[in-house]
Amino acid sequence: MTIQNQTTLYTMIIYSENFAGILNQITAVFTRRQVNIESLNVCASSTPGVHKYTITCYCTEEMAIMLTKQIEKKIDVLQAHYFTDEDIFTMEACLLKLSTQGIMENPAVGHIVRQHGARIVEVNPTYSIVEMKGNTDNILSLFQKLDEMKVVLQFVRSGRIAVTKLRVELLDKYLAERELEQ
Amino acid sequence: MPAKMKQENNQATEKGTRISGAEALMRSLEHEGVDVLFGYPGGAIMPTYDALYDHRDKLHHILVRHEQGAVHAAQGYARVSGRVGCAIVTSGPGAMNTITGVADAMIDSTPVVVICGQVSTAMLGTDAFQEVDVIGVTQPISKWAYQIRRAEDVAWAVSRAFFIARSGRPGPVVLDFARDAQTGMVDYKPAQVDFIRSYRPVPTPSDDIIRMTAQMVNLSLRPLVLVGQGVELGNAREELRHFIEKAQMPAACTLLGLSALPSDHPLNMGMLGMHGNLAPNVMTNQCDVLIAVGMRFDDRVTGNLKTYAPQAHIVHFDIDPSEIDKNVRTTLAVVGDCKETLRRVTELIDEARHDEWIAGFEPYKDKERARVIEPAIHPTEGPLLMGEVVRAVSEASEHRAVLVTDVGQNQMFGCRYFQYSEPRSVVTSGGCGTMGFGLPAAIGATFGAPERTVCLFVGDGGLQMTIQELGTIMEQKAPVKIILLNNNYLGNVRQWQYMFFHKRYSFTPMLNPDYEQIASAYGIPSRTVIERADLDDAIREMLTTDGPYLLQCAVKEEDNVLPMTPPGGSVDEMLLEVE
């Protein structure tokens, strides 16, 4: 992944109990260490009562270690791990609201949409909706090209979601250990 | 209790009785063994204070004069007793006045539980009278912060709070208690939380780590052990002593770890840090293995990190994994309870002698003794010095008193020249450096260790920050021996202005009130010492007077704490004199 100022894009995968306020506690750790969050996704995990946070940021590995340790220190955080892009499967999504008239006037728009593997999910006389799944670079490439054609009315990109390539499920292992310890 | 947390309430077997949430709090506190509370009532906590009225025989409530004092007093209580200190205040401003204390307890790993009133749940988020987002404010500075919104959650939340506060690396917990949760009714059953699946308070290091650590100690020719507060918190004084004695390893203590090793122990080389002793600071950069136990490599200890012990392998014993490699890169991390890890490593290390290495400390000790210590504690002329007052009080109390300090020069002179023979004998605001900490913390210490003499060293600046707590002393007859080191300056800042800001004393000289009159107004006996010849008699009078006492010492106005590692400097480049 792109290197910015000797830093690497790390993806933090964090699991916590479903308590109010934990997201604040997690993001405060980044703020305190002056690390910008590039993207953030929070949702219920496959384990009932456990929430999963997927956070990306540029930092050094030393900082990634410190961040995950500080996050894991929070009482209701179960686990925090950091990964590089080689360690995980990732996906992002985006939605583009385009001017239908602009599309009609410039046939290259449709070509670019197809070229990026995006698809048109709604068309009406005023606007058309395009959705795309992929990685950050491809999504940004689609946006930039369409934006140059001045057809973009709105653009939104999701946070990254990720699953690890490990053959062991870290959370399951942890919960099993804790159950034994109890 | 949230449904998913049911596994934590695994011993709630008593048959329930229907009571209010406020009454449930009282019973839960008693269930946790609380017998002293420091607090201040107000609107949103009134139902709880009403319940407290019926429990005042078992729960001794100390009415402080400001909520900040409640938390500092709870800290002082916790630090000397090893128990969880408890403070109780109202919502909004009451809760906000505890913030400094909560942050202070967090950075100094002090177990306190702060219970704040809060507006009713229906009013939350409406900017109601005395409503503040206490959870939002305290989450980043506490170990755990939780809002109790239902009477049913009280027993569980209190038990969880005390478990979190005292276990692992201790710290402050804030319970934000909504008013309708106080008045709501509940079938009360005591809770016993001693397991939280997301929280591992005491990690256990592998046998390999223990073996490798022992091997590193055995191979070391010039070991140096750094003793932090973790040794006291882990009740590991004996284990530490066996560890250093078996391999004859010199040791030095951090500010908060000073009483973890008796001052007169032959292997105790003194205090670390910016104003610590010369020998251990210099030898930090000459040892081959630096063994840190229960300390966090604070910047006041390390000075410039780039020049901090670059030659040494660093072994770090700590209970908190997030402290490892935070400031200093370690060779080996022994993450666990030091009472246990020290014992395991000590079993595997060889008996050894390091006489030559230890002898290497002596020239630095002699140098500091001649140029700094003797002139500070045994001056023969000129005005009284802080150092001589501190040492005289320590000697008069046979080095067995609890030392409480405020922050500034009084703190540095206090910690440097007091001597320690008993555990849990230092109560000072180390990480936060909170002026105003001393007086309320000393009050708390008298309740935490009622059998001991509590000596507070405080400056004229810090005393006035929480001076209203003289009212608490008066009411409780708390036997705090207040030694006011009055130099008519904010001394530490003045020293820095002298050294680093071209002697431009920007707002550090201070016009003082008549402290003896103030003490008199509170019914506290007092005396002022100006002449050196009167000092011993005044100290004797202070220590033999029952109850509180204020001893004001008119000390040299422009004294400097030395030695000193200048900010950003290296630990082995301490200044012994000020130019």
Residue range B133-177, pLDDT digits in tens: 999 999 999 999 999 999 999 999 999 999 999 999 999 999 999
Pairwise CB contact (< 8 Å): B136 & A21 = yes
Rounded CA-CA distance B244/B152 in Å is 50
- Tens of pLDDT along B18-58? 999 999 999 999 999 999 999 999 999 999 999 999 999 99
pLDDT by residue (tens digit) across A64-79?
999 999 999 999 999 9
Contact B322 A73 (CB under 8 A): yes
Inform me whether the C-beta atom of residue A18 falls under 8 Å from chain B C-beta atoms.
Answer: yes
Nearest-CB residue to B195 (from A28, A72, A182): A182
* pLDDT of amino acid B579: 76
Contact A13, A57 (CB under 8 A): no
Q: How confident is residue A20, by pLDDT bands cut at 50, 70 and 90? A: confident
Nearest to A17 among B4, B322, B324 (CB): B4
Whether A86 shows a pLDDT value over 60: the answer reads yes
Percent of chain B with pLDDT over 70: 97
A-B CB pairs within 8 A amount to 53
CA-based nearest residue to B80, from B203, B233, B269, B291: B233
Return the amino acid letter for B502: H
H or E stretch covering A101: helix A100-105
- Can you tell me the distance from the alpha carbon of B570 to that of B576, in angstroms, rounded to the nearest whole number? 14
State residue A1's pLDDT score. Answer: 42
Interface of B with A (CB under 8 A): 2, 4-5, 7, 135-136, 139-140, 143-145, 164, 195-200, 320-322, 324-326
In the predicted model, is pLDDT for residue A6 greater than 50? Answer: yes
Q: Is the pLDDT of residue B13 over 50?
A: no
B193/chain A closest Cα distance in angstroms: 12
List the single residue in B136, B145, B198 with the smallest CB-CB distance to A77: B198
Task: Taking residues B240-261, report their average pLDDT.
Answer: 98
Mean pLDDT computed over B263-290: 98
CB contact under 8 A, A21 and B7: no
Q: Report residue B17's pLDDT band, with 50, 70 and 90 as the boundaries.
A: confident
Are A18 and B4 in contact (CB < 8 Å)?
A: yes
Instruction: Judge if A2-83 and A91-157 fold alike in CATH terms.
Output: yes
Q: Is B10's pLDDT higher than 70?
A: no
Distance CA B204, CA B187 (A): 39
Of the candidates B65, A175, B253, the one whose C-alpha atom is nearest the C-alpha of residue B240 is B253
Domain A2-83: give its CATH code: 3.30.70.260
Q: What is the pLDDT of residue B435?
A: 98
Beta strand B426-427 pairing with B480-486? unpaired
The mean per-residue pLDDT over the stretch B278-301 comes to 98
Residue B479 has pLDDT above 80, yes or no: yes
Interatomic CA distance for residues B352 and B366, integer angstroms: 25
Rounded-to-integer distance, Cα B476 and Cα B470, Å: 10
Q: What's the confidence (pLDDT) of residue B6? A: 52
| Chain A residues closer than 8 Å to B5 by CB | 17
Instruction: Mutation target for A interface from B141, B195, B196, B197: give the one with most A CBs within 10 A.
Output: B197
Q: What is the mean pLDDT of chain A?
A: 94
- Tell me the nearest-neighbour CA distance from A13 into chain B, angstroms: 15
> How does residue B469 score in pLDDT terms, banded at 50, 70 and 90?
very high
B563: left (phi over 0), alpha (psi -120 to 50) or beta: beta
Question: What is the model's pLDDT at position B2?
Answer: 56
Interface probe, candidates A60, A75, A77, A81, chain B, greatest B C-beta count within 10 A: A75
Instruction: Summarize the confidence of residues B500-515 as an average pLDDT.
Output: 97
Chain B hits for A179, Cβ within 8 Å: 197
CA distance B164 to chain A (A): 8
Amino acid at B99: I
Using a CB-CB cut-off of 8 Å, the residues of chain A touching B136 are: 21, 24
Instruction: Give the global pTM.
Output: 0.95
- Report the CATH architecture of A91-157: 2-Layer Sandwich (3.30)
- Chain A, 30 to 69: residues with Cβ < 8 Å from chain B are 32, 49, 62, 65-66, 69
CB contact under 8 A, A182 and B320: no
Q: Given a cut of 80, is residue B425 above it in pLDDT? A: yes
Q: What is the tens place of the pLDDT at every residue in A38-60?
A: 999 999 999 999 999 999 999 99
Q: Give the long-range contacts of residues A18-21, CB within 8 A, separation 24 or more.
A: A18/A44, A18/A49, A18/A50, A18/A51, A18/B4, A19/A76, A19/B2, A21/B135, A21/B136, A21/B139, A21/B145
Question: Are residues A21 and B199, on separate chains, in Cβ contact within 8 Å?
Answer: no
What's the CA gap between B246 and B348, in Å, rounded? 10
Measure in Å the smallest separation between the Cα of B320 and chain A Cα atoms.
Answer: 8
Question: CB contact, 8 Å: A173 with chain B?
Answer: no
pLDDT for the residue numbered B576: 97
Predicted confidence (pLDDT) at residue B7 exceeds the cutoff of 90: no
Indicate whether B12 pLDDT > 50. Answer: no
Contact state of B198 with A25 under an 8 Å Cβ cutoff? no
Residues found in chain B: 579
Instruction: Please give the C-alpha separations between residue B559 and each of B365, B494, B495, in angstroms, as whole numbers.
Output: 22, 9, 8
Q: What pLDDT is recorded for position B16?
A: 65
pLDDT for A182 equals 87
A114 pLDDT band, cuts 50/70/90, is: very high
Q: Closest chain B residue to A17 measured between Cα atoms? A: B198
**CA of B145 vs chain A CAs: smallest distance (Å):** 9
* Residue B63 β-bridge partners: B39
Per-residue pLDDT tens over the stretch B199-214 = 999 999 999 999 999 9
Which of B5, B7, B322 is closest, CB to CB, to A69? B322
Residue B388, helix vs strand vs coil: helix
Split at pLDDT 50, 70, 90, the class of B528 is very high
Of B144, B195, B325, the CB nearest to A75: B144
CB B60 within 8 A of CB B212: no
CA–CA min distance A135, chain B (Å): 32
Q: In chain A, whose CA is at the least distance from the CA of B142?
A: A74
Instruction: Map out the domains of chain A as residue ranges.
Output: 2-83, 91-157
**Which residues from B are below 8 Å from A180, CB to CB?**
none
DSSP label of A67: H
Residue of A nearest to B134 (CA): A21
CA nearest to B320 within chain A = A73
| Yes or no, beta carbons of B198 and A16 under 8 Å apart | yes
Rg over CA atoms, chain A: 20
